[in-house]
Structure 1
Amino acid sequence: MKSEQKPSKAMNITLWTAQVILAATFFWAAYMKLAQPAEQLATMWPWTKNNEMLVTLSGIADLLAAIGLILPGMFRMLPQLTIYACIGILALMAAAIIFHVNRGEASQIGINIFVAVLAVFVVWGRLRKAVIERK
């Protein structure tokens, strides 16, 4: 039987910090993909050239991830959506790693691995250590 244990304040703060870092990263990525001109993006990210639909879809996914990391827990409404957002982030990072490796850009996957590790930490913490209870 599972004992009822109050989550530590430090763990909750650490998880929220990880969530905010992830959300900021995904808000930035969404802004870049959805608000910047295609020509400007292509100078920074060559893969975006002639891939406007991919850029738009990944921008929308980034925006949804950022929202899912913060709002459900903040308002305590459907907090499990944060877990689902992190699982989506893991799928996105796996796809990004495969994409970069296939393009010969394996040296660029460090950020993808870091983001994936943070997402795994949030899933673990929100499922096991500092569950956000629904209102």
Structure 2
Amino acid sequence: MNLTLWIAAGLLTAVALAGGITKTFVPKARLAAQHGGEWTQDASAGFIKTLGVLELLAAVGLILPAALGIAPVMVPVTATCWIALMVGAMVTHGRLGQTGLVLLNSVYLVLAVLIARGRFGPWSFGS
């Protein structure tokens, strides 16, 4: 199960890194023109960049604390924060009728729940 949790964290890290880089560095107009980026039309550039930075921090928080052995409890804390982010993403995409993206976000949510539950529970880094 430990390996499964590491794989799940690695997958979510890749998702967070890709989303974070995109939201932080791609201009708002270009994001809005892409499928799935329609929600950015009504959001401020600062809000979009803030979400991007949070996703970059999530990418760091899902792997580095455990890998370096420094505050490994941050891994499940980060996964719990990712759950909140995915609920927001699902609501946003649901309002726009983007069912496919809601389903994709639900997969990310399930991975985050798996990580949070496993790392807070029986497969924590302290046990």
Please report the TM-score for the alignment, with normalisation by the length of structure 1.
Answer: 0.84
Structure 1 unmatched ranges of 5 or more: 1-10
Query: Which has the larger displacement, 26-35 or 95-104?
Result: 95-104
Provide the identity percentage.
31
TM-score normalised by length of structure 2: 0.89
How many residue pairs end up in the alignment? 124
Tell whether 2:23 aligns with 1:33: yes
Shift of 1:34: 0.8
2:24–2:50: 8 Å Cα contact kept in structure 1? no
Structure of larger gyration radius: 1
Looking at structure 2, the residues matched to 47 and 99 of structure 1 have their Cα atoms a distance apart, in angstroms, of 7
The code of the aligned residue for 2:121 comes to R
Aligned CA-pair RMSD: 1.6
Q: Which runs of 5+ in 2 are unaligned?
A: none
Tell me, yes or no, if structure 1 residue 99 matches structure 2 residue 92: yes
1 CA distance for matches of 2:103 and 2:86? 11
Deviation string 1:60-84 (CA, Å, 9 cap, x unpaired) is 1111111110111001111111111
**Aligned residue for 1:66?**
59
Residues 41-56 of structure 1: pairs in structure 2 closer than 5 A: 41-44=31-34, 45-51=37-43, 52-56=45-49
Q: Output the amino acid matched with 1:41.
A: L
Structure 2 distance, partners of 1:89, 1:48, is 19
